[in-house]
Amino acid sequence: MNTSGLSPQEQAKKRAGYKAADYITNGMTVGLGTGSTVAFTMARLKERMTEEGLSIVGVPTSIQTTMRAGALGIPLIGLEQAEKIDITIDGADQIDPDLRLIKGRGAAHVRERIIADASTRLIIVADPSKICSHLTGPIPIELIPFSLSHVIRRLNELGGTVAVREGVKKDGPVISDNGNIILDYTPVSIPDPTALETAINMIPGVVSCGLFSEFTTKTTVIIGEETGPRIIGLA
């Protein structure tokens, strides 16, 4: 694996992403997450397809991932065509010691949650900066546009700060692949991630937030460290 020319953080992402590809075997249906670390996994899967004749199909979690897989020649199917998803490989913005996650910096967390739920196993790839002693936020929240003012009021009642995520190279808010608005919510603290996840997701108009606390028993985390990949959770 050549990491020359990459920043230390990109090298770490590549180590994690490449290691995750080792878990994939012939004939698997693979959930393909969104983000820069998973991009390295997809590149390695393409290498294995070329070098080893690896045969897989992917289920993408975003338009970006669909485009990237198409450019690499990784065959894709829709969720409705997948009888099962063997493994999903995805990234995370924060990972706590109990393998609870904050996801959604790429605004793809709704589809990522669906694909993770449909998967037998979830592999999270990340660089060391994503490991934390406790989750702090911000927590991405996807919501129906009609509900914007109501959801903001309810989040303010919970305490903390709320901001509509603004687009880059466009005016106005970020719009998800599902046509919804993204908020970034930073609570005062997160003593109980599961309880806060439930409270946010119960607000009418919220599609889903970026707290992921329900997949810990089927999660493997791969951290790309300077000495090599470190495995946390399921081996």
Catalytic residue ranges:
112
Say how many CA atoms lie within 13 Å of 62 toward its Cβ.
23
d(CA 138, CA 131): 15
Q: Is 67 helix (H, G, I), strand (E, B) or coil?
A: helix
Report yes or no: 93 and 109 within 8 Å, Cβ to Cβ.
Answer: no
Strand (E) positions, 22-146?
A: 29-32, 57-60, 85-90, 94-95, 101-102, 119-126, 139-143
d(CA 86, CA 97): 25
Could you tell me how far CA 9 lies from the centroid of its own chain?
18
Q: How big is the chain by its Cα radius of gyration, in Å?
A: 18
Q: Is 167 helix (H, G, I), strand (E, B) or coil?
A: coil
Match 């919220």 to its residue by tokens.
Answer: 206
How is residue 175 annotated by DSSP?
B
**How many other CB atoms are found less than 10 A from the CB of residue 189?**
12
